[in-house]
Structure 1
Amino acid sequence: MRLLVLLAVLQAGCLSESDEASLGVECGPRDLTPECCLKKNPGQWERCTGSSELARVVEEAAGTVGRAPSLAVKVIATGTAGAMVTAVHIGSAERRGVALAADLLKKVEEEIVRCVRRAEQEVNDYHFEGKSPTREQCQEVKVGERTTWAAYLGLFKHETAWPCLRKALDKLWKEKYLLHPRFYVDPQTGEWRHMPGDMMSQIVEREGWSGLRGTIEPDIVLLDANGVVIHAYDLKFPCPGSNSAKWETYGQGDYWRDWLQGDLYESALKVQPLLVSPRGGVSIPKRQ
């Protein structure tokens, strides 16, 4: 699990050995570094996992959404972009993105699938000795009162995939991609726009995660030379692995209630969004 260990060390800043000793908490030989950090820092998910999304999920489960985020969350929130781009545009009748050449797109998607499968294997190797968890295990509660193994594993597999994806996309499509960017509806124009990291950080600091309600966050967005969105992908890690990847439907209490996730992405970004999963690769799932 070297990717997770590295991510945790670089982004989360786990305690030094002297700090660990002073707390009197020891980690077992099979403790994943983020889990070990959580034993020493109970509840500090954003610090120990490097995942603002996981922190939000856990806060929701605990009913603490809206609480002022820690400095770690603010720092992580500003780092959602995977490339240094000056501006991001959504296509329209007047501004259409220039598609990638077929051979280059094939290479890009092959690398995305490779990273997804690698993340799946690494996390399963650690927790389940390389096997996919059973349907019963997927539904078991792992965190708090509501977060299941399925949700927990899915989030950690996302985090494991990011370094691999950055390396691959930097090589193939440098400075023309974004990892987990966020988009919002401009209240003045009613149009979807990309949310810069500093804007997201300010909203989270001022309003907590509830301030991002109504926004969307695809996992990967590819841009053309002019910064226009031309492809969008969402990573899915079905649990158990035999399940098919599918779009979720926004439920009761969600801003986009009854919308299918893929339909909303397509409406917002003006491109056909694709799912990427370990078993299915890149796919356009059937409507549920």
Structure 2
Amino acid sequence: MRRLHPWAVLALSTLLTACYAMDSATSSCQHNPAYCTAVVGEETVVPTVRGGAEIASLNAIRQLLAPDTRARVERELVECAEWADTEVNRLRFGGNKPSRQQCQELLYVDPCGEKVTRAMQLGTEKHLLALQCTQEKLGALIPGRFSLEPRYRYDKQQGGRRLIPEHEARALLRRGCGEELRGTLRPDVVIHSGNPLEVQAVYDFKFPCPLNNEPSWKTYTEGPYKGSIQGDVYAESLESEAALIAPNWGVRQRVFP
């Protein structure tokens, strides 16, 4: 896959931050779907999962990655986070790191009523670059064994999870039905057996601003997971280890099911 030029990513981020998200920096058009529909359809932003939405079999035989391969996957993810952080800082600040004051600067209030800070804008831009880098790196290392931003619906009572095809999510957003996607989970990177429902590891990129802020899982403030920690929800619902990837920090805060 050919990466977008960083300046193209910065332009796209302006649209993405217009409806800044609850789930991740690049998955948030739920408050005002009509405003963001054009963005959701762009395959140049981030490749997403295609395919059916079957219930995963608990008895599925998983082809686990070898420990050395798993370690290399994590090294590649950290390198992508570091590269994205450096590249955006180079374009935005001439290579300097943003100060705490710059991070907290309020840029605007978007059409969805969300206050967008510089930290949020930078996070969106860095996510885009990190995900494109991940597509290249893991596409060469473990082709067919990973997905970027797959969307899952988890039934806590029944204990099952369903993969929502991207075309289905797009159709809901185009009809203005973004509310139906509330409560779905959309991690940044999922390692799997070749079937996205047979999850083996989950990773989320975090880009603290300023950089010396320790990365952490967010706590849901609304919806079905209100009061829960994001990493715990990922580990329980996807029955897999979850971890954060952040520049300067590496792999952090592993959570186990």
Correspondence 1:50-129 to 2 at 5 A: 52=16, 54-57=17-20, 65-69=31-35, 72-76=38-42, 81-82=47-48, 90=56, 92=58, 94-95=59-60, 97-129=62-94
Following the alignment from structure 2 to structure 1, what is the Cα–Cα distance between the partners of residues 185 and 94? 34
Matches within 5 A, 1:12-51: 34=11, 48-49=12-13
1:160-239 counterparts in 2 under 5 A? 160-185=129-154, 191-227=160-196, 228-239=198-209
Segment drifting more, 175-184 vs 200-209: 200-209
Unaligned ranges ≥5, structure 1: 8-31, 35-47
Separation of aligned partners in 1, 2:46 and 2:155: 19
Shift of 1:90: 4.8
In the alignment, residue 200 of structure 2 is paired with which amino acid? I
Q: TM-score, length-normalised on structure 2?
A: 0.81
**What is the aligned partner in structure 2 of residue 282 from structure 1?**
251
Identity %: 32
Match in the other structure for 1:240: 210
Deviation string, structure 1 residues 126-146 (Cα, Å, up to 9, x no partner): 222222211121111123271
Give the match's secondary structure for 1:284. Answer: strand
Report the structure, 1 or 2, having the larger strand content.
2
> Relative to total residues, which structure has the larger helix share, 1 or 2?
1
Q: Which amino acid aligns with 1:198?
A: H
Cα distance in 2 between the residues matched to 1:102 and 1:148: 39
- After superposition, the Cα gap between the structure-2 partners of 1:232 and 1:157, relative to the gap in structure 1 and judged at 3 Å, is same
In the alignment, what sits opposite 2:7?
5
Q: Residues of 2 paired with 1:195 and 1:131: CA distance?
A: 40
CA contact (8 A) 2:201 2:241 kept: yes
Aligned length: 243
Paired residues of 2:190 and 2:200 also in contact (CA < 8 A) = yes
Residue type at the aligned position of 2:248: R
Q: Which amino acid aligns with 1:256?
A: Y
- Aligned-CA RMSD value: 3.3
Inter-partner Cα distance in structure 1 for 2:89 and 2:226: 33
Runs of at least 5 residues in structure 2 that lack an aligned partner in the other structure: 22-28
Give the whole-Å Cα distance in 2 for the aligned partners of 1:50 and 1:173. 32
Counterpart position of 1:249 = 219
Residue 193 (structure 1) shift: 1.3
**Bigger Cα Rg:** 1
Q: Which amino acid aligns with 1:57?
A: Y
Relative to the length of structure 1, the TM-score reads 0.73
